[in-house]
């Protein structure tokens, strides 16, 4: 048609479409809104789109984008580190209401100090059959807070009695000075196993369903940042914009601090060779004054 323009409205950017997707899933769309999906598969079946073009086009579309392009589904992130994570299967509400005696409790901290480098602490419980329940998070990007402020918030968020059911708090072993500071503040820190690829594999295995049941359950009301990061955590691409096949895989270091804390929890507790306690005598003390400002 003269003057016509072809416009594409496929939701290929998850960052842009996620708010709308959340409103649809949560039933919070405005009453006068309606959502329609343009389905290319149906268009082929109705004879509006040529089958040869369809086969050629979708032969070039990545697996992650196929349902988006074909059926109008909302996009997921390409190259997801945790593609099996599903909020409908791996999240629930009010987890602590169903806790019983005999569950072991742990915490994990990923040190951070700013808008692009969040400070994160996760609280988790593990039952007798090995199911993890991530029941709370502390997440802060406030640059005005000191590490002592973070320690105080964590210390007072949940009681942590000195008994056999409340285990260690795992921390990134790259910051032994912070570990000692928190230990002196009443939060004893044990160095987490910081193996990245091996730790990611531990989490990936834990996210698989066992006899139809998840082995990791996250409180959807208390841990929104962990849930968000698990859905957006991707592998790093090469300069050409492709995922490297021959080079060692590397996760993209962006908005990943909750994922790191989850990896510390599961991998350190899996029995893999760890880094040892950062409060042990082999690590020399660091100057703590810079953390007290």
Note the pLDDT tens digit of each residue in 150-205.
999 999 999 999 999 999 999 999 899 999 999 999 999 999 999 999 999 999 99
Question: How many Å apart are CA 10 and CA 73, to the nearest integer?
Answer: 9
Locate 161 and state its tokens.
Answer: 């009695």
Specify the pLDDT at position 292.
Answer: 37
Specify the pLDDT at position 145.
Answer: 93
Which region among 10-24, 71-85, 107-121, 278-292 has the lowest average model confidence (pLDDT)?
Answer: 278-292
pLDDT higher than threshold 90 for residue 124? yes
* pLDDT band, residue 80 (cuts 50/70/90): confident
Strand 104-110, strand 119-126: pairing: antiparallel
CB 272 within 8 A of CB 287: no
pLDDT higher than threshold 70 for residue 244? no
Question: How many Å apart are CA 29 and CA 264, to the nearest integer?
Answer: 37
**Hey, where are the domains in the chain?**
14-71, 87-291
Q: Return the higher-pLDDT residue of 38 and 218.
A: 218
Specify the pLDDT at position 258.
Answer: 97
Annotation: CATH topology of 87-291: Nucleotidyltransferase; domain 5 (3.30.420)
Place of tokens 């997921």: 76
Q: Return the higher-pLDDT residue of 239 and 65.
A: 65
* pLDDT band, residue 68 (cuts 50/70/90): confident
CB 199 within 8 A of CB 266: yes
Beta bridge partners of 14: none
Specify the pLDDT at position 279.
Answer: 35
pLDDT higher than threshold 80 for residue 133? yes
């Amino acid at each position: 048609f003269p003057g016509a323009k072809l416009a594409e409205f496929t939701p290929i950017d998850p960052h842009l479409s996620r708010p709308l997707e959340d409103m649809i899933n949560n039933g919070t769309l405005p009453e006068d809104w309606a959502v329609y999906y343009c389905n290319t598969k149906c268009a082929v079946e109705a004879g509006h789109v040529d089958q040869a073009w369809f086969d050629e086009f979708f032969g070039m579309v990545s697996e992650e984008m196929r349902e988006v392009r074909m059926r109008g589904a909302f996009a997921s992130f390409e190259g997801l580190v945790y593609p099996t994570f599903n909020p409908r299967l791996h999240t629930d509400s009010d987890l602590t209401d169903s806790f019983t005696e005999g569950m072991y409790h742990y915490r994990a901290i990923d040190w951070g100090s700013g808008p692009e480098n969040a400070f994160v602490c996760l609280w988790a419980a593990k039952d007798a059959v090995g199911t993890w329940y991530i029941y709370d998070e502390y997440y802060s990007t406030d640059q005005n807070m000191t590490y002592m402020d973070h320690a105080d918030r964590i210390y007072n968020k949940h009681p942590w009695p000195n008994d056999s059911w409340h285990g260690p708090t795992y921390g990134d072993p790259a910051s032994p000075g912070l570990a000692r500071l928190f230990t002196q503040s009443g939060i004893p820190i044990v160095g987490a196993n910081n193996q990245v690829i091996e730790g990611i594999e531990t989490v990936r295995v834990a996210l698989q369903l066992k006899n139809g049941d998840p082995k990791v359950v996250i409180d959807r009301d208390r841990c929104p940042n962990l849930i968000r990061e698990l859905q957006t955590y991707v592998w790093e691409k090469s300069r050409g914009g492709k995922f490297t096949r021959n080079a060692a895989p590397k996760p993209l270091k962006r908005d990943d601090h909750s994922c790191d804390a989850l990896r510390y929890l599961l991998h350190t507790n899996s029995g893999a060779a760890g880094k040892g306690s950062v409060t042990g005598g082999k690590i020399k003390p660091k100057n703590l004054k810079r953390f007290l400002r």
